[in-house]
C-alpha cells in the first residue's frame, strides 16, 4: 500500500476480519490507527502488532464514541479518517426475527455509523476535512430472506450517501462505500448463535 497523506484513522470492528485487515493496511501505509471493538484481547493484540491503539467501545454508545475521539485527540491530535466497519447480524426472516434482534442490528449497523460520523466531525473539521469509509456488503444489493434484519441494515448503509456527504472541510466529502463479498461462514455462525452457541 502506498504511503498515505492522512495521518490518523479510526477503524470500528477492528479486532478481527475486514476491520483488522483494514487497520493493518492503513498502518502499513504510514497512518496512526485506533481500532475499536467490544472485545479487548483481539484489539490489544492487533494494536501491539501495528503500533496502534486499541479501545474497547460500542458503536451504539455516544459516550464510547466520545472516549474514542478523545483518545485520538490526545494521542495523535485528531482524526483524519473514519472506517465504519463494525456490524452484527441476526438469523431470521421477517416472520421469525424478533423485534429486539431487528432493533439491535439496525442500531449497530446503521445508527452506529451516524454516531461515528457525528463524533469525528468536529475533529475532522478542525483539521480541514477528512475521509469517511462506510463498509457495507453485497447483501445490500441482494435479497436474503433468512437475514431480513442484516440485509435491510446493509441496504441502508449502502444508501447512506446523504449522511456521508457532509461538509467537514473546504468542500463536501463525497464519502466512500466499500462492499465486500458475502461471508461464506455467515449462515453457520448465525445458526450457532440461534442454538445458543457463541
What's residue 184's pLDDT? 39
Query: Residue 50 has which C-alpha cell?
Result: 501495528
Instruction: Name the pLDDT band for 164 (thresholds 50, 70, 90).
Output: low
Average pLDDT rounded to a whole number, residues 65-79: 97
Q: Give the highest mean pLDDT range of 67-71, 141-145, 177-181.
A: 67-71
Taking each continuous run of H as one helix and of E as one strand, the counts in the chain are 8, 6
Active site residues: 150
| Per-residue model confidence (pLDDT) at position 61 | 98
Q: Which residues contact 88 (CB under 8 A, 6 or more apart)?
A: 104, 105, 108, 109
pLDDT band at residue 168 using 50, 70 and 90 as cut-offs: low
Domains of the chain listed by start with CATH number: 8-193 (3.40.50.720)
- The β-bridge partners of 50 are none
Which pLDDT score is estimated for 198? 38
Amino acid at each position: 500500500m502506498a504511503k498515505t497523506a492522512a495521518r490518523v484513522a479510526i477503524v470500528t470492528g477492528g479486532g478481527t476480519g475486514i476491520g483488522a485487515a483494514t487497520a493493518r493496511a492503513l498502518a502499513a501505509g504510514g497512518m496512526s490507527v485506533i481500532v475499536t471493538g467490544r472485545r479487548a484481547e483481539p484489539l490489544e493484540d492487533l494494536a501491539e502488532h501495528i503500533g496502534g491503539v486499541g479501545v474497547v467501545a460500542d458503536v451504539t454508545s455516544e459516550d464510547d464514541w466520545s472516549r474514542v475521539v478523545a483518545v485520538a485527540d490526545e494521542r495523535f491530535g485528531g482524526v483524519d479518517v473514519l472506517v465504519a466497519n463494525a456490524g452484527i447480524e441476526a438469523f431470521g426472516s421477517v416472520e421469525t426475527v424478533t423485534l429486539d434482534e431487528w432493533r439491535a442490528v439496525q442500531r449497530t449497523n446503521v445508527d452506529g455509523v451516524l454516531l461515528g460520523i457525528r463524533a469525528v466531525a468536529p475533529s475532522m473539521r478542525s483539521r480541514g476535512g477528512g475521509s469517511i469509509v462506510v463498509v457495507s456488503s453485497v447483501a445490500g444489493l441482494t435479497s436474503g430472506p433468512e437475514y431480513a434484519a442484516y440485509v435491510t441494515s446493509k441496504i441502508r448503509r449502502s444508501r447512506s450517501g446523504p449522511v456521508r456527504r457532509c461538509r467537514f472541510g473546504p468542500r463536501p466529502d463525497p464519502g466512500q462505500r466499500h462492499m465486500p463479498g458475502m461471508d461464506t461462514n455467515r449462515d453457520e455462525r448465525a445458526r450457532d448463535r440461534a442454538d445458543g452457541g457463541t
